[in-house]
Amino acid sequence: MAQGNTVTRERIAAMEPRIRPYVRHTPVLRVDMADFDRPPLALDLKLECLQHSGSFKARGAFTNLLERPVPKAGVVAASGGNHGAAVAYAAMRLGHKATIFVPEVSPQAKLDRIRSYGADLVVGGARYAEALAASERFAQETGALQIHAFNQEETLVGQGTLGLEIENDLPQIDTLLVAVGGGGLIGGIAAWYAGRIRIIAIEPEGAPTLYRAFEAGHPVDAPAEGIAADSLAPKRVGEMMFPIAEAFVERSILVSDDDIIAAQKALWNRVRIISEPGGAAAFAAILSGRYTPAPGERVAVLVCGANANPANF
């Protein structure tokens, strides 16, 4: 396959029943954009924000812990928050020690969730890249198993199970909008669909990692700023996901912080869905008009994370 690794439909399909006892089959909500003061449009929202640990990341975390031998030192992960929470949750469920490194931009809601799962939490560094470097040093010193948030085959395979689930839930869709940070989610989903539907990447203007990679023809450093910096702002997309994206992701669309805030507020005020900035980014593309479906186009939007306090928006 185009991706040049083992992130295949066959491997994703084989993994899904292995993680099924540990992850939720999350619901789909059909909405009409008229409810959001927009022209009428039927839209399906896949509510992965209701997954264990508050985001899709639980899928990749359990895949790593079930597929790879875990040493006595346990596991270590660097995260803006969601991946750390998922690894901490999976380690708790499977009886392993977890150490999580997060940058200073991680919101309190995510720190509290990580601690609630019994993990050792280390906060330091301005951005994800610094937390990652610290986690790598910890792994070298202790022998702990490092679980990368996106540039790891098992992570991509685990996130790909969400693509399988979406296809089972919504076999009729033409287009799926997916938020992108490091690219593990869209990489896994795109590997599952393998070009059978249109997949559109949505990124914040302050962290255009895949957008810049598409321009350059390979992963490059991008800014890591904006309201979604805790979840959608690594320095660059993963090397493993990029060939998958080149083959199967149609394009990347950028949304502003104001677009994302408006999407968060709309999801909460109109349908009582709590979504963090990264989780609302894909819906922001529809609400803002930055992505306008063609007549008759059947569109689904992935709402992928809920580790936020609605009082803040």
Top pLDDT among 221 and 168 is at: 168
103-115 average pLDDT score = 88
The pLDDT score that the predictor gives to residue 307 is: 83
- In this structure, how many other beta carbons lie within 10 angstroms of the beta carbon of residue 94? 15
- DSSP β-bridge partners for residue 4: none
**pLDDT tens digits for range 25-39:** 999 999 999 999 999
Output helix, strand, coil percentages for the chain, rounded to the nearest 5: 45, 15, 40
Q: Taking 70 as the threshold, does the pLDDT of residue 227 lie above it? A: yes
pLDDT for 229 equals: 64
The pLDDT tens digits for 165-192 are: 999 999 999 999 999 999 999 999 999 9
CATH classification for the domain delimited by 71-142, as one of 3.40.50.1100, 3.50.50.60, 1.25.40.80, 3.40.50.2300: 3.40.50.1100
Task: Measure the CA–CA gap between 167 and 57, rounded to whole angstroms.
Answer: 19
Q: Is the pLDDT of residue 47 over 80?
A: yes
DSSP, collapsed to helix, strand or coil, labels residue 273 as: coil
Q: What digits encode the pLDDT tens for the residues 125-140?
A: 888 888 889 999 999 9
* Mean pLDDT of the residues in the chain: 93
Encode pLDDT of 274-305 as tens digits: 999 989 999 999 999 999 999 999 999 999 99
Task: Please report, for residues 110, 181, 191, 216, 232, the alpha-carbon distance to residue 307 in angstroms, rounded to integers and kept in the order given.
Answer: 6, 16, 26, 33, 13
pLDDT confidence of residue 308: 80
Mean pLDDT for 214-235 is 80
Residue type, 123: V
Say how many residues make up the chain. 313
Q: How high is the pLDDT of residue 35?
A: 96
Enter the CATH code of domain 7-54+150-310.
Answer: 3.40.50.1100
Intervals of CATH 3.40.50.1100 along the chain: 7-54+150-310, 71-142
The number of angstroms, rounded, from the C-alpha of 255 to the middle of its chain's C-alpha atoms is: 16
pTM of the full structure: 0.94
Task: Look at residue 297 and give its three-state secondary structure.
Answer: coil
Question: Across residues 252-257, what is the average pLDDT?
Answer: 97
Does position 246 have pLDDT exceeding 80, yes or no?
A: yes
What are the DSSP E strand ranges found in the chain?
28-32, 42-47, 75-78, 98-102, 120-123, 145-146, 175-179, 198-204, 251-255, 299-303
Is the distance from CB of 75 to CB of 144 less than 8 angstroms? yes
